[in-house]
Chains A and B, each alone.
Chain A
Amino acid sequence: MGIQEVPAAKMKKRRTLLWSEARDGYLFILPWVFGFIIFTAGPMLASLYISFTRWEIVTPSVWVGGAQYVKLFNDDRFWLSLYNTSYYVFVGVPLHLFFALLAALAVNMNLRGIHLFRTAYYVPSLTPVVANSILWVWIFHPEWGLANAFLQWIGLEGLYWLQDPRLAKPALIVMSFWSIGGQMVILLAGLKGIPMELYEAAAIDGANWWSRFWRVTLPLLTPALFFNLIIAIIGAFQVFTQAYIMTEGGPNYSTLFYLLYLFRAAFENFRMGYASAMAWVLFIIVLTFTALQFMLSDRWVFYEGDVRR
């Protein structure tokens, strides 16, 4: 159809249609809008306000300005919990992602019965974190556990995995490798999305396995890697259940993670102002890292359709 004059009546009809469409659009997202205000934006502002007060729930809240933040930055335990959490994030997440990538590459091979291996690698990530934690306390048991049985079988001394302050965090990271399955499936979907033509073209150009991996697979997988990295880092900053159940923050506070310390401040000591200040500091940290990753992503994340300069 070419350019035609639209009769006035038709024009009016279209405008009302659009208006009713917009009205319905807003009506349909209304539950979410309310939810956003009541359960996200409102509480965020409220927790910012609470972080400037002293409030033990039973006593009335008192405005103290930045005193909670000053106290926080002078609190050795706070810095320790931040260190423990950073250790878990920056040692655990890259290793976890690396193993998930290896697993995804392995189960992407064109072999008969490969789906059985996919299932086998995925299933452990289904175990609920509470059951998982209890199982791994038993696996890490210094006298009767599976981990030390294995070490002794290959002729090494058993370790005090969860009782040694130097080993407790690495032990929790080792345990997290058991559930690489979730990330593996996302990366596998990314691998499946790479067009075969690209591999064929690379093969015609005489590219070997290694250069196909570096020039085709990895660049086209970067969006999936980026997404996994962001979500995993945000999640790892909020690690809680393992430490709460397995080590209770010990030994010697070596697994006192940020969220565990915050939980104790809020729900065991009822220091709502202090805990809110902690929550906002974590929020700023996570926000900074996420923003930083988005900024750096230009350098290494390759989106199809991007023009390479």
Chain B
Amino acid sequence: MLSANSRTAKELIFAGFWYVVLSLFALVLALPLVWLLSTSLKTGGQTFLMPPKWIPDPFVWSNYPEAFRAVAFHEYFWNTIRIVIFATIGAMLTASLAAFAFARLRFPFRETLFILVLSTIMLPSIVTLIPTFIVFRTLGWIDTFLPLIVPLWFGGGAFNIFLFRQFFMTIPLELDEAARIDGASNLRIYWGVILPLSKPVLATIAVFAFIHNWNDFFEPLIYLQSPENWTMAIGLRGFRGLYHTEWNLMMAASTAMIAPLLVLFFFAQRYFVSGIQMSGLAGR
């Protein structure tokens, strides 16, 4: 047996060893972001140094206003926000309605239909892309936000239905029964009993909808053509086309696209984590 003292010493060495390993790994993962930030504050000439200088000299803060003047990032920002708001409202309403039915109402073929919902998560979206594009084109919706918003008013995405259902299952059924005895309709139970208890999952879905729309590249690329309709992701791609050798400006623009996500993450961390963890439950 080890004495108490040597045991603590052993634990200390053990912990120390792991702190070193964990920190080294964290450093490797942090370097690209530090490099991004450092480049975004350099003069044009300083970006072309080998070996690179990590600390800009001087700090060129004006790279940021210059990048924003070069392309209309404020317009892209508001376009993205508008798409997020309208898409998210639709997704929340229709996904939570469907999830309420799947979690708390009994009807024939409920399980079969829910399996159908789950299986669409695994469907590669490419197989529906071309006809969907042609339908939107026929409707004259190309170069509008509608193709990015309207589909979410029809079920709100299978994954969101799954998340809502997962959460609704944790709410005791007795609440519904008590409300039903008081004469409440199912719609009333959904709106007055279940939704007010579901703020955490609503927040999770709002956060994820924001990230999705902020990051989505493929759909806006296909549907949005004129620059005044671009989202942040498409705008950044356009920026690269114009300033492909000015790495300091390009890194400033990229930082501007990453920063809001980091801010959101630090304010809404627990909704991120709960959303991702719930997605892991799909494996069970």
| A84 interface contact, C-beta 8 A | no
| A290 interface contact, C-beta 8 A | yes
Given contact pairs A28-B101, A123-B262, A128-B258, A227 touches B280 in the complex (Cβ within 8 A): yes
| A52 interface contact, C-beta 8 A | no
- Give bound CA distance, A182 to B277, whole Å: 10
- Give bound CA distance, A283 to B261, whole Å: 32
- Name the interface residues of B67-126: CB closer than 8 Å to any CB of A: 94-95, 97-98, 100-102, 105-108, 110, 113, 116-117, 120, 122-126
- Contact assessment for A31 and B51 in the assembled complex, using a CB-CB cutoff below 8 Å: no
| B4 interface contact, C-beta 8 A | no
Nearest chain-B residue to A158 (Cβ)?
Answer: B50
- Contact assessment for B130 and A32 in the assembled complex, using a CB-CB cutoff below 8 Å: no
| A161 interface contact, C-beta 8 A | no
- Give bound CA distance, A309 to B84, whole Å: 50
- Contact assessment for B153 and A189 in the assembled complex, using a CB-CB cutoff below 8 Å: no
CB distance from A113 to the nearest CB of B (A): 9
Residues of A within 8 A of B251 (CB): 134-135, 138
- Contact assessment for A290 and B122 in the assembled complex, using a CB-CB cutoff below 8 Å: yes
Produce 1/0 per residue, B138-166, CB < 8 A to A: 00000000000001011110000100000
- Give bound CA distance, A279 to B129, whole Å: 9
| A144 interface contact, C-beta 8 A | yes
| A256 interface contact, C-beta 8 A | no
Produce 1/0 per residue, A133-144, CB < 8 A to B: 011101101011
Question: Which of B52, B190, B250 lies in contact with A144, CB distance below 8 A?
Answer: B52
Nearest chain-B residue to A185 (Cβ)?
Answer: B276
| B9 interface contact, C-beta 8 A | no
Interface centre among A134, A136, A240, A290 (most CB of B within 10 A): A134
- Contact assessment for B131 and A267 in the assembled complex, using a CB-CB cutoff below 8 Å: no
Residues of A within 8 A of B283 (CB): 186, 190, 223-228
| A199 interface contact, C-beta 8 A | no
- Give bound CA distance, A9 to B161, whole Å: 37
Residues of B within 8 A of A203 (CB): none
- Contact assessment for B98 and A29 in the assembled complex, using a CB-CB cutoff below 8 Å: yes
- Give bound CA distance, A256 to B52, whole Å: 32
- Contact assessment for B151 and A39 in the assembled complex, using a CB-CB cutoff below 8 Å: yes
- Contact assessment for B254 and A131 in the assembled complex, using a CB-CB cutoff below 8 Å: yes
Residues of B within 8 A of A22 (CB): 105-108
| B39 interface contact, C-beta 8 A | yes
Residues of A within 8 A of B276 (CB): 182, 185-186, 189
- Give bound CA distance, A32 to B217, whole Å: 24
- Contact assessment for A152 and B50 in the assembled complex, using a CB-CB cutoff below 8 Å: yes
- Contact assessment for B277 and A25 in the assembled complex, using a CB-CB cutoff below 8 Å: no
Produce 1/0 per residue, A26-46, CB < 8 A to B: 101101111110111011101
- Contact assessment for B122 and A230 in the assembled complex, using a CB-CB cutoff below 8 Å: yes
| B61 interface contact, C-beta 8 A | no
- Give bound CA distance, A231 to B118, whole Å: 12
- Contact assessment for B154 and A32 in the assembled complex, using a CB-CB cutoff below 8 Å: yes
- Give bound CA distance, A93 to B14, whole Å: 32
| A303 interface contact, C-beta 8 A | yes
- Give bound CA distance, A121 to B23, whole Å: 10
- Give bound CA distance, A130 to B76, whole Å: 14
| B237 interface contact, C-beta 8 A | yes
- Give bound CA distance, A276 to B133, whole Å: 12
- Contact assessment for A25 and B25 in the assembled complex, using a CB-CB cutoff below 8 Å: no
- Name the interface residues of B1-46: CB closer than 8 Å to any CB of A: 15, 18-19, 21-22, 25-26, 29-33, 35-36, 39
- Give bound CA distance, A282 to B282, whole Å: 24
CB distance from B226 to the nearest CB of A (A): 16
Given contact pairs A24-B187, A39-B132, A131-B236, A185 touches B125 in the complex (Cβ within 8 A): no
Interface centre among A226, A276, A303 (most CB of B within 10 A): A276
Nearest chain-B residue to A150 (Cβ)?
Answer: B31
CB distance from B130 to the nearest CB of A (A): 5
Residues of A within 8 A of B25 (CB): 103, 106, 121
- Contact assessment for B132 and A144 in the assembled complex, using a CB-CB cutoff below 8 Å: no
| A88 interface contact, C-beta 8 A | no
- Contact assessment for B97 and A47 in the assembled complex, using a CB-CB cutoff below 8 Å: no
Residues of B within 8 A of A36 (CB): 116, 120, 154-155
| A-binding residues in B (CB < 8 A) | 15, 18-19, 21-22, 25-26, 29-33, 35-36, 39, 47-52, 94-95, 97-98, 100-102, 105-108, 110, 113, 116-117, 120, 122-135, 137, 151, 153-156, 161, 185-187, 190, 211, 214-215, 217-218, 222, 232-233, 236-237, 240, 247, 250-251, 254, 257-258, 261-262, 265, 269, 273, 276-277, 279-284
Q: 3 nearest interchain CB pairs?
A: A35-B154, A227-B283, A32-B155
Q: A135-B254, A227-B283 are in contact. List 14 more A-B contacts (CB 8 A).
A: A25-B105, A32-B156, A36-B120, A43-B128, A103-B25, A128-B236, A128-B257, A134-B250, A134-B254, A143-B50, A149-B50, A186-B276, A224-B280, A280-B127
